[in-house]
């Protein structure tokens, strides 16, 4: 879906590069059909791989029992083993109608993939990466999109340099951003939704809150966080969990009960598919290959947000580095520029880059960027940072010209 949205953006630039593209039309239906067929193809491949590996697949809802040995029950049948791994992932958080009247009239990111047509008018609620991605895709593909956020910026857990720039890019791209706002109620009228929003600027304490309504909404999408898939596992007295239901594990993915392990979103740490895969591999090496010290290092995990333009980030934010090392021991290098691609286009989008360095040797502990191609740039730089690269190492690397990535090795 993000690739389709990028195609839509590039269409705006074609005339600047000399291409005549009159009468271009977009079909959500065609895209959905091809996407769904591809996902079904992947599902068949994964199932085939399981069969080839002679892995028994049991379909059903598993729940832990009170048996002395770690045991799960599925469809009335009990299963026990020396090792039981929980990898049930997470699901979108939802609000009840009691919390926000009419909240159930909206959908989540799961429902987004079930949409049969492109909504003409969309409202996305949330400020995290899923909200940013959903709003960007819908807007780029032609849906009039509003994004409702509780504070003044999106991606507040990211480096402030990224948060501020991404907020600006959203607005520049045409997303209608409602800051300091929350949904008060939702109701259906004439087949569409009417979303009532309350706005209150905390800086203006004497100002009354404003109540406004967005009408004729085809799609209200809640992207207000995720919660672990643990509620049906019956682990209440079996395993320790935190206040949100995430399973508590140690550095080796051990839960509070011997023989039961957990990886991925269900643990509430670094909610990324490759993280779960890597943690699972390390656990398998430890349990079945005798590598007793095998565990995943959760530091400096690279993350990409498929915003417009994309974001790449790895390591500590400036704020985290200052907290850990002290402001006097942190050195920041950053730059902002217009990528060469946009030299000829009337549509402009900046590329921003930042290095967070610590100590006399200026070890690079954080790298943050947003701009064209930043999603593909990040992996290589992440290897360097994981290996302990310093600013001098970056400086000693010859630049590749003309590219945006060369800015990281020419910063002064």
Q: Which two tokens stand for residue 265?
A: 């979103």
Residue 351: is the preceding peptide bond cis (ω within 30°)?
no
Beta-carbon contacts of 275 under 8 Å, excluding residues fewer than 6 positions away, are: 264, 269, 296, 298, 301
Local structure of residue 353 (DSSP, 8 states): E
Tell me how far apart the alpha carbons of residues 90 and 317 are, in angstroms, rounded to a whole number.
26
> Considering only CA atoms, which of 77, 74, 92, 70 is closest in space to residue 235?
70
Q: Is 308 a catalytic residue?
A: no
Burial class (CB in 10 A: 0-12, 13-18, 19+), 343: exposed
Q: Choose, from 41, 246, 308, 401, the residue flagged as catalytic.
A: 401
Q: Residue 132: phi, psi to the nearest 5?
A: -60, -45
Task: Give Cα separations from 357 to 329, 354, 384, 394 (angstroms).
Answer: 8, 10, 13, 11
Q: Which residues are known catalytic residues? A: 401
């Amino acid at each position: 879906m993000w690739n389709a949205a990028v195609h839509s953006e590039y269409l705006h630039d074609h005339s600047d590069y000399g291409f005549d593209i009159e009468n271009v039309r977009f079909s959500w239906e065609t895209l959905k059909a091809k996407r769904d067929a591809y996902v079904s193809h992947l599902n068949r491949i994964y199932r085939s791989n399981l069969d080839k590996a002679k892995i028994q697949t049991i379909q059903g809802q598993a729940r832990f029992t009170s048996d002395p040995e770690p045991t799960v029950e599925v469809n009335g049948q009990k299963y026990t083993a020396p090792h039981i791994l929980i990898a049930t992932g997470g699901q979108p958080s939802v609000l009840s109608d009691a919390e926000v009247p009419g909240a159930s009239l909206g959908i989540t990111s799961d429902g987004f993939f079930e949409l049969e047509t492109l909504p003409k008018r969309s409202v996305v609620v949330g400020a995290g990466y899923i909200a940013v991605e959903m709003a960007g895709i819908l807007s780029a593909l032609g849906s009039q999109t509003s994004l409702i956020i509780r504070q003044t910026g999106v991606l507040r857990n990211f480096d402030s340099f990224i948060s501020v720039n991404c907020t600006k890019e959203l607005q520049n791209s045409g997303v209608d951003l409602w800051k300091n706002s929350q949904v008060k109620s939702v109701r259906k009228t004439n087949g569409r939704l009417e979303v009532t929003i309350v706005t209150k600027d905390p800086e203006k304490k004497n100002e009354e809150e404003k109540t406004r309504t967005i009408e004729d909404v085809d799609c209200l999408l809640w992207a207000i966080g995720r919660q672990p898939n643990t509620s049906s596992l019956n682990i209440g007295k079996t395993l320790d969990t935190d206040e949100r239901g995430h399973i508590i594990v140690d550095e080796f993915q051990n839960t509070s009960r011997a023989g039961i392990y957990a990886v991925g979103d269900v643990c509430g740490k670094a909610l990324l598919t490759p993280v779960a895969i890597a943690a699972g591999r390390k656990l398998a090496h430890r349990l079945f290959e005798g590598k007793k010290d095998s565990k995943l290092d959760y530091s400096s995990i690279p993350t990409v947000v498929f915003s417009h333009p994309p974001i790449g980030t790895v390591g500590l934010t400036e704020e985290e580095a200052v907290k850990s090392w002290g402001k006097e021991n942190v050195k920041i290098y950053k730059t902002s520029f217009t990528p060469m691609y946009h030299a000829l286009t009337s549509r402009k989008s900046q590329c921003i880059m930042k290095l967070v360095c610590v100590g006399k040797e200026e070890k690079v502990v954080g790298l943050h960027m947003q701009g064209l191609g930043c999603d593909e740039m990040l992996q290589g730089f992440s290897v360097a940072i994981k290996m302990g690269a310093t600013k001098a190492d970056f400086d000693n690397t010859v630049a590749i010209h003309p590219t945006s990535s060369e800015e990281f090795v020419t910063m002064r």
